[in-house]
Each structure stands twice: as C-alpha cells, then as structure tokens.
Structure 1
Amino acid sequence: MTHANLLVDTARAVGFLSRLPVPARFFDGYDGSLTRASRAFPLAGLIVAAPAGVLLAATLAFGLEPLVASVLALAVMGGTTGALHEDGLSDAADGLGATRDRDRALAIMRDSRIGSFGAAALILSYGLRTSALAAVCAAIGPLASMAALLAVAALSRAAMVWHWRVLPPARTDGLAVAMGGPDGASALFSTVSAAIIAALLIGSFAGPFQALGAMAAAAAATAGFSRYVRSRLGGQTGDTIGATQQLSEIAALLALALLT
C-alpha cells in the first residue's frame, strides 16, 4: 500500500459518503467498487465531519450554549453527508419494526416513504446525539469537543465496514452488492486506523479511559446490531450499513457523555 493509493481510496470514500466535492481525477478508470476504498472510511469520516467539528468549536468558543452548538453541528453534518446514514436508519427501522417476515421487511426497506418506526428512529437518533454531544461540550470545552466529534465520526465509519464485512448480503441486488464488499485487509485497516484516531484525538483531549469507553461502546453497538440483523434478515443491506453508523455514533457519544 502506498500513500498515493490511500489518498485515492480516501477521496473515493469521501465521494461516496458525502456531498463534498472531490476532483474528477480520483475517479479516472474507477469501476465503482468500494472493496478497497472501504479501508479509508475512517479517514473519510474525519474529512466529512470536519466542517461540523470546526463549527462546533467556533460556536462554543464564542459562547454559544452547548445544546445549540450541538444542534448546529449535527445539522451541518447531515447536510455534508446528504443524510445518507439517517436515511439508512429510518428505512431499517421501518422494515425491522413493522414486520417479523424477512421478505416483507426487505420490501419495506426499499420503499422510499418513511413510516412511524423510521420517524421515531430519526427523532431518537438526533435527540440522543444532540444531548450527548452537548454534555460532552459542557464538560471538555471547544477544541476537545471538536476532537471527540471527529473521532466518533471515524469510529462510526469503521463500524459500517465491520458490519458490511461480517454479514453476507441479504439480497442478490442492491447498492451494497453493486459496490462490492470490504475484504479482510480493508476491514482490518479501517478498524485499526479508527482505533488509532480515537486514541489520539479522544485520548489526548479527554483521556485514555474516555477513548477506550467510546471504542468499546461503538464496538458493542455494532456487534449487537449485526447479530440482530443476521437473525432477522440473514445478512446486511445498504440500509443496515447506514443504520450501523448511526447506532455506533450514538453509543460512542453516550459513552463519552457518561465518562467525561
């Protein structure tokens, strides 16, 4: 692996995970596969979360209340990602919550309309993430809060790769199938890089115990949800991959709020 290859993979991952502009040269001859580019998801998470992190630190530094600053930061994050992961969470909640039948659940998840389970999941996701981030901001200050938000973004993108890797596709078609799946080397690289990022950012600004807590919470949420999805659907979909990002992000932020 060269630095040039990792840069290309990161650019492609940013292009997939966000609406941020990426130079066209990074996609010359690209077949659309994320098998290798998935290794760069945590690095892409740092880039995707950077605008929200900068806004969070700036608004806190100028005296804005942590709750308001957190709402603004998550709003920017949603705009940067195009609410990609929130869409996956709502679709997964609708399918998994509305029926016990596997085929019916998969059909519901393909419906673009949002149902009551999806709406409730989004409300809970934004409510929990906002309140947890606000508690973190109040405890550790502007720069440390920005570092925590960036680290959690990296952890939650690695969680997506892990979920995608350990579960087979639930369908024979769909986005997750068309994009290819992470291979073992990509999954390992994404996991290790996310752990290093979290250790450096959270460990340096909040403490090693907090860093370990955030990593453990994200891992537990990912493992628990993956096991549940396996039992209900037999495998992953693009929606469950997006839902994994949201659930692991919620878990990591809640752990930080508890431990800081």
Structure 2
Amino acid sequence: MKARDFITDVMHSVAFLSRLPVPARFFQDADGVSMRRTARAFPAAGLLIALPAAFLVVMFTSFDASPQLTSWLAIALAALMTGALHEDGLADTADGFGGGRDKARMLEIMKDSRIGSYGTIAMVLSFALRATALGSLVETLPGKTAAAGLIAALVLSRALMVWHWQSLPAAKTSGIAAGAGQPGPGERNVALTIGGLLFILFTLHALPLLSIALVLAAAVLAALLFARLCERKIGGHTGDTIGASQQITEIVTLVALALTA
C-alpha cells in the first residue's frame, strides 16, 4: 500500500463522508480511484471528521461548561460535519424496516426522502443516546480524555460500516451503494485494522485492556446483529443501511464507553 495512494483515499473519503473542503489537487488524475478502494480509508477520514467536535469538547470543558450542553453541541457539530449523512440513512432504514411489509415495499419507503414516524423516533433516540453517553464521559473524565473517546467512537463506527458494506450483497441493483461497487476483503481488513488500532490508541490511556475489549465486542456484536437484520429484511445492504450501521455502532460504542469509564 503506497502512502501517496492512501492519502488520496483519505481525502476522497473525507469528501464523500463529510462537508469538509478537500483540495482539488486530490481529484486530479483520479482515474482508477474507485469507492471500492477508497473505503479502506473511511476510519482515517472519521478521525479528521471527528476533530472539530473533539476540539469543542476540550474547549467547553476548559471553561467548566455543562457536560450535557457540551455533549449535545459536540454531537450536533459532528452531524453538521457530515451533513447528517449517516443520520439520514438511519432514519430511512427505520422507516423502511418499520413500515414495510415486504422487501419491495421496504426499499420503496427507504428511497423516499421524506421521514416518517419510525425515522423520526430513530433520529431522536440516536441524538439523545449519543449526547447522554458523551455527557457521562465529559462529567467523569478529563475533557481531553472524553474528546478522545468521541474520536474513538467515530473512527471505529466508520470501520464497521465498511465491514457491513463488504459482508452483505447489494439489496438492489440501483442506487449510490450499488453504483459505487463493493469493497473487497482486502479493503475491509485495512479499514478494520486502522479502525481497531486507532480505537485502542485513543482509549488506552483511559481504560484497562479488558474494558477496551468489552467495548470493541459490543460494537462488533451490534454490527453483526444489524447485518443479520438487513439480510433478513431486504437480503443485503443499501446506502441507507451502510449509514445506519455507522450510527448504530457509534451509539453502542459511546454507551459502552460511558458504562466502562
């Protein structure tokens, strides 16, 4: 793996997963740079996407701001960085799985840009659970340590979304995910390795190894169970379920960190 190619993949991942500006030079001579290859850099892109929210946590805790105010603003900023890309996927998936009677109807509902009752509940729960868990970390840990936990959750969840994408077939032949291709085992393994190592790096100073292992196990189990649900409901993945997998594993990771910290 060439360092230059990987840096290009990171920048393409940042452009795909967020609203952060990326220099145009990374898109010059981009022939051959496919989303299949770029997916291996999703966890590294997650690190860059998480930095503004992590900085907000450090800054607000230095002024002794309310933990709940700090956490809600940090989660809101993280969503702003992505244009609520993954939250939208979670909402569409919840509407489809909750309101559809069969695969065809579920996919039809998920394609609809309007958000229904199930999607609204899913988004409210997502923000509430993440903000509450992060607020617990802010309240019990130093600001820099809580910020590191947030980074760890955002990185790990983007590694597991690559696993979700690679482990399931496409549920339909059209759409962004189907058109982008599918990461192979090599790209999946790179993403999982980077995500796992970065997660350990950002949590090792705050948690014992056993706690780190338990948090990782909880996140992996959540990803596995959600993948099985997608397989049963629609026979594979869509762009919406990929986004939903990021949200679900981020929630579980933050909650598990709050319980073990």
Q: In the TM superposition, what whole-angstrom CA distance separates every residue of 1:114-154 from its partner, at most 9, and x where no partner exists?
A: 00000000000001001011111111120001111111111
Distance 2:29 2:96 in 1: 36
Alignment of 1:106-185 (within 5 A): 106-185=107-186
Residue number in structure 2 paired with 1:192:
193
Residue number in structure 1 paired with 2:227:
226
Residue number in structure 1 paired with 2:57:
56
TM-score (normalised: structure 1): 0.98
Say whether 1:28 aligns with 2:33: no
Residue number in structure 1 paired with 2:251:
250
Residue number in structure 2 paired with 1:85:
86
SS in structure 2 of the partner of residue 206 of structure 1: coil
Alpha-carbon contact 1:144-1:206 (below 8 Å) kept = no
Residue number in structure 2 paired with 1:203:
204
Residue number in structure 2 paired with 1:66:
67
Q: 1:213 deviation in Å?
A: 2.5
Distance 2:108 2:86 in 1: 19
Unaligned stretches of 5+ residues in structure 1: none
Distance 1:208 1:140 in 2: 17
Aligned length: 260
Q: In the TM superposition, what whole-angstrom CA distance separates every residue of 1:177-200 from its partner, at most 9, and x where no partner exists?
A: 111111111100100111101111
Alpha-carbon contact 1:132-1:257 (below 8 Å) kept = yes
Residue number in structure 1 paired with 2:5:
5
* One-letter amino acid of the structure 2 residue matched with residue 16 of structure 1: F
* One-letter amino acid of the structure 2 residue matched with residue 24 of structure 1: A
Q: CA RMSD in A?
A: 1.0
Q: In the TM superposition, what whole-angstrom CA distance separates every residue of 1:154-212 from its partner, at most 9, and x where no partner exists?
A: 10001110000000000001000111111111100100111101111111233323322
Q: In the TM superposition, what whole-angstrom CA distance separates every residue of 1:69-107 from its partner, at most 9, and x where no partner exists?
A: 000101111110000000000000000000231100000
Alpha-carbon contact 1:92-1:118 (below 8 Å) kept = yes
Q: 1:60 deviation in Å?
A: 1.0
Unaligned stretches of 5+ residues in structure 2: none
Alpha-carbon contact 2:100-2:109 (below 8 Å) kept = no
* One-letter amino acid of the structure 2 residue matched with residue 225 of structure 1: F
* One-letter amino acid of the structure 1 residue matched with residue 20 of structure 2: L
Percent identity among equivalent residues? 44
